[in-house]
Amino acid sequence: MDKKQFFSIGSVRSYLDDLNKNLQSLPLEERNKYLAEIKADIHASALDIEENNKIESEEVLAKETLQSFMSPENLADEILNEHKNDFADNHKANKSTAQLFTGFSVGGLGALSVP
């Protein structure tokens, strides 16, 4: 199977376009990272299906491959929730670090102000 030709099939292109649209709230770099990962997963799945089954055409292969994945909307929701949770965890860690740094900075100055 030719990878470029497989990703030019309408149903595969449509799936990836829909996923991209549903991930618009992510920063471009993050969105591209997720799309590249999903694209690699789709291709690997297609290769497995092609290897284990007699497939009549690439369109049938694309259909069978995409059926094994969540809808683009559900997958985008999963990704956005994961991203939101990661962002919240990182924000909490950064806030704690900033508070700790501030405590050490101010604490040191406080010790110097004692006569």
CB distance 34 to 77 below 8 Å: no
What are the residues whose beta carbons fall under 8 Å from the beta carbon of 35, sequence distance 6 or more? 16, 19, 20, 23
- Structural domain span for residue 44: 3-113
Please state, rounded to an integer, the average pLDDT across all residues of the chain.
83
**Global pTM?**
0.72
pLDDT of residue 51: 92
Number of domains comprising the chain:
1
CB distance 83 to 26 below 8 Å: yes
Angle, CA 41 vertex, CA 14 and CA 37 arms, to 5°: 85
Q: What is the mean pLDDT of residues 21-31?
A: 95
User: Residue 109's pLDDT band (boundaries 50, 70, 90)?
Assistant: very low
